[in-house]
Homo-oligomer: A and B are copies of this chain.
């Protein structure tokens, strides 16, 4: 028994996802946007949030960078730090989605195993989950370099930078793949919005 367990008793009784769908007329869900820095995750996530809100659907972007200032403050970028950052983002998204909203996570989340754990947590809770691979080649993402991070990584100023000095494991079976180096931003946003609306529809 670990150190946290003795004082803990599981509480039952919160409304189930089915109860919520019946009361609210929609289902919450999580869209998990993974991809290289500069692939377009945040741009697409924020535009999709805007479009969904305009349609009266509660959507919230959980941005990896912002979470590093809040829920995940203090975590590193080594494999363990990234795993824990993905885990916490996943737990937070699960709560947002459980409340009936559309959680749009925008997070590099380079490791397949970490993403698979988040999916398993959602499935165990009966909350819909979809991976969106925001897929640009490294060359394209690096040429955009919206935050100047690739330049700093190439200069050796940033350690363990995904795509440069750390691996990116592309998802093997994402629900949606957006080739942002070929498709327009608008068409990518439209695809994300359509996926969210489909998942949010009560069955």
Contact = CB atoms under 8 A, between A and B. Distances in A.
B42 A7 contact: no
A72 B5 CA distance: 11
Interface stretch (A46-54, A167-175, A177-185, A192-200): A46-54
Interface string A10-34: 1101110001100110000000000
Contacts of A15: 49-50, 53
A140 interface: no
Interface of A: 2-4, 6-11, 13-15, 19-20, 23-24, 42, 46, 49-50, 53-54, 56, 58-63, 65-66, 68-77, 81, 88, 91-92, 94-96, 98-101, 103, 106, 121, 147, 149, 152, 157-158, 161
16 contacts: A3-B76, A4-B68, A6-B158, A7-B158, A7-B161, A10-B66, A11-B65, A14-B49, A15-B50, A15-B53, A23-B54, A60-B99, A62-B95, A88-B88, A91-B92, A95-B96
